[in-house]
Amino acid sequence: MATAKGCRLYIVSKDNSEENAVWVTEVWDSKDDHNNSLNVEGVRELISQAMPLLDGRPEKGQELEVLGGAGIS
């Protein structure tokens, strides 16, 4: 995601309370930037490699309006 326009944060984390749970945290400048990230070279290929490892489709995340914080400009 380093080359995706508008990606401020992309973190993959292991859930310590659920052995097989993984969390992906993303912060984008806009919904359009997030949608357009699927057009970044290699992204669709990585998604297709990850899908067989998942137990079903990922759950839809939350959409929040960032009001401020450290590292936000």
Return phi, psi of residue 44, to 5°: -60, -35
8 CB-side CA count, 13 A:
11
Question: What is the number of domains present in the chain?
Answer: 1
Closest CA to 27 of 60, 59, 1, 54: 1
Q: Quote the pTM value.
A: 0.75
| Burial bucket for residue 28 (CB in 10 Å: 0-12, 13-18, 19+) | buried
Where residue 44 sits, what CATH number does that domain have?
3.30.70.100
pLDDT band at 16 (very low <50, low <70, confident <90, very high): very high
Whether residue 59 lies inside any domain: the answer is: no
Residue 60 domain-assigned? no
Residue 27: inside a domain, yes or no?
yes
**Could you tell me if residue 62 is inside a domain?**
no
Question: Residue 60 has what DSSP assignment?
Answer: P
What local confidence, expressed as pLDDT, does residue 73 receive?
58
Residue 61 domain-assigned? no
> Residue 29's domain spans which residues?
7-53
pLDDT in tens, 19-72: 888 888 889 999 999 999 989 888 889 889 988 888 888 888 888 888 888 876
Q: Please tell me the predicted confidence (pLDDT) of residue 72.
A: 60
